[in-house]
Amino acid sequence: MAERGAYAKGVVRREEILAAALDVFSREGYRGTSLRDIAKQVGVSLPGLMHYFDSKEHLLTAILQKRDQVDAEAHPADGDFLDGLLVIMRHNRDVPGLVQLYITLAAAAEDPSHPAHAFFIERFAFLRLTLAEVIRDRQSAGMARADLDPEHVARILIAVADGIQIQWALDRSVDMAGDIERLWDAISS
């Protein structure tokens, strides 16, 4: 990895590879694709790929991190963070491979030694904190019942978002964003 040798060229090349890998996983599905396949589609050799990523698990984790970063930039919320989450859920219909990768890695990340372990813990903590804040704001604005527990509802919304992706992966007619929206309507009024 580029530790103190974080020279411009190395960082740029790594970002290029990451962007290409993200694109591959977005279009094609993630079906336990081998590193050789990824390297070929990205346009580097297998050791060329592993020069920038310590292991397959590290690469997959970096792809998910990059995805979050790209999503946040490409889909700025026109409302609050919950609105933004719905926009991303709608966008997820176009990237089934990333949805599958996300769930697979979330399950594997249970192991504390997995590279994605810290990523998911921090991700969930951030989502809980940010969503709870949104709920509090909506309560203040009279847009939600005052007796809702913001922390609890935040956790539930995250769980629904993850769980509904599993159902959508098996049946593409599931309306992920719509179902979350309807849940919010039912819970907030």
Partner DNA sequence: GTCTATAAGTCGATAGAC
Partner DNA sequence: GTCTATCGACTTATAGAC
Query: DSSP for the chain?
Result: --SS---HHHHHHHHHHHHHHHHHHHHS--SS--HHHHHHHHTS-HHHHHTT-SSHHHHHHHHHHHHHHHHHHHS--SSSHHHHHHHHHHHGGG-HHHHHHHHHHHHHTTSTTSTHHHHHHHHHHHHHHHHHHHHHHHHHTTSS-TT--HHHHHHHHHHHHHHHHHHHHH-TT--HHHHHHHHHHHHH-
**Which residue, chain included where needed, has tokens 């792809």?**
63
Instruction: State which of residues 71, 106, 130, 137 lies at the interface with its own copies (CB under 8 A).
Output: 106
Residue 109 interacting with DNA (CB under 7 A): no
Instruction: Give the footprint of DNA on residues 7-66 (CB under 7 A).
Output: 7, 9-10, 13, 32-37, 44-48, 50-52, 54-57
Q: Which one of its own copies, DNA, none is in contact with 34 (Cβ closer than 5 to 8 A by kind)? A: DNA
CB-based contact 81:134 (threshold 8 Å): yes
Select 16 or 175, whichever has its Cβ closest to its own copies: 175
Instruction: Give the nearest distance from C-beta 50 to its own copies in angstroms.
Output: 19
Instruction: Give the footprint of its own copies on residues 128-187 (CB under 8 A).
Output: 148-149, 152-153, 155-156, 158-164, 166-167, 169-171, 174, 179, 182-183, 186-187
Instruction: Give the nearest distance from C-beta 162 to DNA in angstroms.
Output: 24
Residue 163 interacting with DNA (CB under 7 A): no
Q: Which one of DNA, its own copies, none is in contact with 122 (Cβ closer than 5 to 8 A by kind)? A: none
Q: Cα 133 from chain centroid? A: 20
Instruction: Give the nearest distance from C-beta 48 to DNA in angstroms.
Output: 2
Residue 124 interacting with its own copies (CB under 8 A): yes
Instruction: Give the nearest distance from C-beta 68 to DNA in angstroms.
Output: 22
Residue 104 interacting with its own copies (CB under 8 A): yes
